[in-house]
């Protein structure tokens, strides 16, 4: 579905590389998480998939087509895009925000309306109460749901997500993560998600790709990266969630008394 | 008395307001049409931002009156066009700057979303950036509106009729009613337009149909009234344009010419308060059909002559020259002279034993001289200064209407007075003689543009003015305005009556309305 071949990106004519010679393939319906510390190049890599950033070297195929050879506007309308800032348009209602891409694609108004209601229900919002609200009248979690609905509006088969749940409180985040995972499986979406949250990566991903200083250091299923990491950096990274899990388990065993 | 004075001013309102509105609206709409695309361009091409905003800022720092006056030589025209261009420049900065600020102020995550969702650059502009920048842009347009309505009053001196006609002529003739009417009308207009735009903005932001209809109706009303108010003056090219320089005598004479031409059944437009040189250029270009000038002014300033032949020879030579060089017809000398003369408060003249300008030479280094805006840059001043070796301690310029009081109250010692001004007697000033004849004679002459000179009905209506107004009559008419507080129109009726040119029918019609 997505094929990243020897892709590098430099913002300073080759003195340093934000992304360096990355190879990665994402199959149809696969949920891949790009994991790494901030500044490791994961967001740059993600943005090259829908050509918000152009690769300096190498090439990226989306559904067998080189992204640099297709019209970027057409490409982006076919790929859902969600990011931490959400970027809802403050002058539009929830319904108008969700219908942005269908409108750009010249859908019939009635089709747009039906799709908006369908998506609001799908993302756990009530069309009747939320449809005509403005973004500033929503909670953080609701806004992120609208952002998700907007990205899904034109039935993309690929979703790119950049720390979509980063700004939410833990309860809301947990709920949305699980709902999204279920949605991804029902709709058979191909997802590339960027995060620095190890637990999120482990819980959502089919496959985790770990990046460090622009280089892809290794990939593997959550089980693989936990049990037999292919690189010392991955092992170090997995130390934190493993230790936290152990601590939680020991609290449970001791009856919740001490630490 | 005040009621009739007010009524007299209000009768002029439709004409002034109509011109003011059309000038303002055309300048504003053009300003928006030019600035919005320019501002968008500037946000897309960053290197252009600094130069464009700087040029707009510089245009803004030029005082409004100077900017308007500058447009006249630049465009070689008077009237609507220079006023329009100057106001357009004036409206640019707030619209440009607010649009640029508004667009650049859109949050980066919103722009990222627009791009990530697959909007083209144009869709991003029209669906996201402009709607989000709209409140800031509209605030800029509202600022520009208030500025343009205010600055449009300054277009009177370049020959465009506006509410400024009230203010300029009112200040010169000390008619506070006229000044107040002009200021109030401009203020009401500014507030009305500003609130109308605000209503439109609220209608769009709140998606309110009622407010939208109201704003639309208001705009339509203003556009329609502009059109309707314009109709009387839009009637063909037969209209006679009468010009006047910015002082009382000129207003009175322009009114007298206007009343005479109206009596003769001609349509007249009065362009008052124009600068001296602007007016002459306008006459030769045919933008003004007739006005009263002074032989010495033309001799020194237009013909650039420094020699001084006797009064009658100068007049003859000037007539020939104007006809030959500019095809301007001198229809006749009105009969009186309005000379430049140096005047001193009588008690001071007696104390210092001042009778002629020569007596002044000795005292000049301790004295302050006051004058109008023009005199010190005119060749007459150079000639006078050199002939008598005058070296004053200080030179001060005044609005002509304030100059006489300044001499009376001792703010200045000497002023360059107009000898027909009624205030010379009223304020007890003494005019010093000019034994060396350094100042030319200033016979009032009626001059006609080349086109007007060919219109027989116009010439026959005006040739009766030849030689019928003497110094005393003119001074009396001026005094009625400057001292007694009459309007120039009233003084002009007095003048026509005094020289036997008034028609009783017209007098009745005026007092009825």
Q: Which chain B residues are closer than 8 Å to A90 by Cβ? A: 110, 132
More confident residue, B323 or B209: B323
Contact (Cβ atoms closer than 8 angstroms) between residue B83 and residue B155: yes
Average pLDDT of the residues in B201-213? 80
Which among A76, A85, A100 is the nearest to B109, CB-wise? A85
Tokens 């320019």 belong to B38
pLDDT digits (tens, 9 = 90+) for B158-187: 878 889 888 888 877 777 888 899 999 999
Does the reported pTM lie above 0.80? no
Q: Report residue B509's pLDDT band, with 50, 70 and 90 as the boundaries.
A: very low
pLDDT at B102: 93
Provide the 8-state DSSP code for A114: H
Q: Report residue B506's pLDDT band, with 50, 70 and 90 as the boundaries.
A: very low
Q: For all residues of chain A together, what is the average pLDDT?
A: 90
More confident residue, B204 or B331: B331
CB pairs under 8 A between A and B: 60
Which among B112, B120, B131 is the nearest to A83, CB-wise? B112
DSSP, collapsed to helix, strand or coil, labels residue A44 as helix
Contact A76 B115 (CB under 8 A): yes
The token duo for B98 is 């607010």
Which among A83, A90, A150 is the nearest to B132, CB-wise? A90
Determine the distance in angstroms separating the CA of A74 from the nearest CA of chain B, rounded to an integer. Answer: 7
Q: Which chain B residues are closer than 8 Å to A74 by Cβ? A: 118
Half-sphere exposure of B484 (CA within 13 A, CB side): 15
Name residues whose C-beta falls within 8 Å of residue B334's C-beta, 6 or more positions apart in sequence.
Answer: B253, B292, B443, B444, B445, B446, B465, B466, B467, B468, B469, B474
pLDDT at A192: 96
Q: Report residue B148's pLDDT band, with 50, 70 and 90 as the boundaries.
A: very high
Average pLDDT of the residues in B413-429? 89
Contact (Cβ atoms closer than 8 angstroms) between residue B105 and residue A85: no
Q: Where is average pLDDT lowest: A27-36, B82-91, B154-163, B193-202? A: B154-163
Q: Which chain B residues are closer than 8 Å to A86 by Cβ? A: 109, 113
pLDDT at B505: 45
Q: For all residues of chain B together, what is the average pLDDT?
A: 86
Q: Report residue B142's pLDDT band, with 50, 70 and 90 as the boundaries.
A: very high
| Cα angle for residues B46, B112, A37 (degrees, 5° grid) | 110
pLDDT > 50? residue B438: yes
Contact B117 A150 (CB under 8 A): yes
pLDDT > 60? residue B1: no
The complex scores an ipTM of: 0.86
B244 membership: H or E segment, kind and range: none
With CA atoms as reference, report the closest residue to A192 among A229, A173, A219, A225: A219
B131 in contact with chain A, both atoms CB, cutoff 8 A: yes
Please give the full DSSP string across B149-188, using - where no structure is assigned. HHHGGGGGGGT--STHHHHHHHHHTT-HHHHHHHHHHHHH
Which among A52, A90, A104 is the nearest to B115, CB-wise? A52
pLDDT at B211: 81
Residues of A with CB under 8 A from a CB of B: 50, 52, 72-78, 81, 83, 85-91, 100-101, 104, 150-151
Which among B112, B118, B131 is the nearest to A87, CB-wise? B112
pLDDT digits (tens, 9 = 90+) for A23-82: 999 999 999 999 988 889 999 999 999 999 999 999 999 998 999 999 999 999 999 999
pLDDT > 50? residue B143: yes
Structural domains in chain B plus CATH codes: 2-234 (1.10.3720.10), 240-338+442-512 (3.40.190.10), 340-431 (3.40.190.120)
Contact B118 A73 (CB under 8 A): yes
Determine the distance in angstroms separating the CA of A36 from the nearest CA of chain B, rounded to an integer. Answer: 22
Average pLDDT of the residues in B464-477? 89
Give me the percent of chain B exceeding a pLDDT of 70.
95
């Amino acid at each position: 579905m997505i094929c990243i071949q020897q892709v590098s990106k430099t913002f300073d004519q080759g003195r340093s590389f934000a992304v360096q010679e990355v190879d990665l393939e994402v199959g149809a319906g696969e949920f891949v998480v790009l994991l790494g510390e901030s500044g490791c190049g994961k967001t740059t890599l993600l943005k090259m998939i829908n050509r918000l950033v152009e690769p300096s070297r190498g090439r990226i195929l989306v559904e067998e087509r080189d992204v640099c050879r297709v019209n970027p506007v057409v490409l982006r309308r076919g790929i859902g895009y969600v990011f931490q800032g959400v970027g809802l348009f403050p002058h539009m209602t929830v319904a108008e925000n969700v219908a942005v891409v269908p409108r750009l694609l010249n859908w019939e108004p009635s089709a747009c309306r039906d799709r908006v209601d369908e998506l609001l229900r799908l993302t756990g919002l009530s069309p009747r109460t939320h449809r005509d609200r403005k973004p500033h009248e929503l909670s953080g979690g609701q806004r992120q749901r609208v952002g998700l609905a907007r990205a899904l509006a034109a039935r993309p088969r690929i979703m790119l997500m950049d720390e979509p749940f980063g700004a939410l409180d833990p309860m809301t985040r947990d709920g949305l993560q699980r709902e999204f995972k279920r949605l991804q499986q029902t709709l058979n979406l191909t997802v590339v998600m960027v995060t620095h949250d190890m637990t999120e990566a482990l819980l959502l991903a089919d496959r985790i790709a770990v990046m460090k200083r622009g280089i892809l250091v290794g990939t593997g299923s959550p089980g693989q990266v936990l049990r037999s990491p292919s690189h010392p950096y991955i092992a170090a990274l997995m130390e934190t969630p493993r230790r936290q899990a152990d601590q939680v388990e020991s609290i449970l065993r001791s009856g919740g008394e001490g630490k | 008395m005040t009621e009739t004075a007010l009524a007299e001013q209000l009768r002029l309102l439709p004409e002034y307001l109509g011109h003011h509105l059309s000038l303002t609206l055309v300048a504003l709409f053009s300003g928006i049409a030019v600035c919005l695309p320019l501002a968008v361009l500037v946000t897309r091409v960053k290197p252009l931002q600094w130069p464009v905003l700087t040029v707009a800022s510089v245009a803004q720092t030029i005082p409004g009156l100077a900017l308007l006056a500058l447009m006249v030589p630049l465009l070689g025209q008077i009237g609507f066009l220079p006023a329009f261009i100057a106001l357009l420049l004036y409206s640019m900065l707030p619209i440009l700057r607010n649009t640029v600020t508004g667009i650049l102020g859109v949050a980066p995550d919103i722009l990222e979303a627009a791009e990530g969702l697959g909007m083209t650059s144009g869709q991003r502009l029209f669906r996201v950036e402009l709607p989000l920048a709209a409140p800031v842009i509209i605030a800029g347009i509202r600022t520009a509106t208030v500025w343009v309505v205010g600055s449009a009053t300054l277009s009177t001196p370049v020959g465009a009729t506006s509410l400024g006609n009230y203010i300029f002529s009112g200040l010169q003739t000390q008619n506070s009613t006229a000044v107040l009417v002009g200021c109030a009308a401009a203020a009401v207009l500014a507030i009305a337009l500003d609130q109308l735009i605000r209503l439109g903005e609220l209608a769009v932001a709140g998606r309110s149909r009622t407010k939208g209809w109201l704003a639309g109706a208001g705009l339509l009303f203003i556009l329609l009234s502009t059109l309707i108010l314009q109709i009387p003056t839009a009637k063909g090219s037969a209209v006679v344009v009468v010009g006047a320089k910015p002082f009382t005598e000129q207003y009175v004479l322009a009114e007298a010419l206007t009343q005479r031409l109206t009596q003769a059944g001609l349509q007249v437009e009065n362009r008052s308060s124009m600068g001296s040189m602007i007016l002459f250029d306008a006459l030769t270009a045919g933008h003004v059909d007739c006005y009263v000038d002074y032989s010495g002014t033309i001799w020194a300033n237009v013909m650039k002559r420094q020699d001084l032949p006797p009064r009658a020879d100068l007049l003859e030579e000037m007539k020939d020259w104007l006809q030959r060089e500019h095809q301007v017809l001198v229809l006749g000398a009105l009969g009186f002279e309005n000379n430049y003369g140096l005047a001193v408060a009588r008690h001071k003249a007696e104390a210092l034993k001042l009778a002629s300008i020569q007596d002044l030479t000795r005292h000049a280094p301790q004295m302050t001289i006051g004058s109008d805006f023009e005199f010190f840059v005119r060749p007459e001043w150079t000639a006078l200064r050199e002939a008598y070796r005058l070296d004053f301690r200080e030179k001060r310029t005044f609005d002509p209407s304030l100059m006489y009081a300044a001499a009376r109250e001792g703010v200045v010692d000497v002023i360059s007075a107009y000898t027909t001004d009624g205030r010379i007697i009223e304020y007890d000033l003494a005019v010093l003689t000019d034994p060396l004849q350094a100042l030319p004679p200033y016979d009032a002459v009626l001059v006609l543009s080349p086109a007007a000179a060919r219109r027989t009905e116009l010439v026959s209506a005006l040739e009766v003015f030849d030689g019928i107004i003497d110094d005393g009559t003119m001074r009396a008419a001026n005094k009625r305005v400057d001292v007694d507080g009459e309007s120039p129109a009233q003084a002009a009726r007095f003048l026509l009556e005094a020289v036997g040119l008034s028609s009783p029918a017209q007098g009745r019609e005026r007092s009825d309305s």
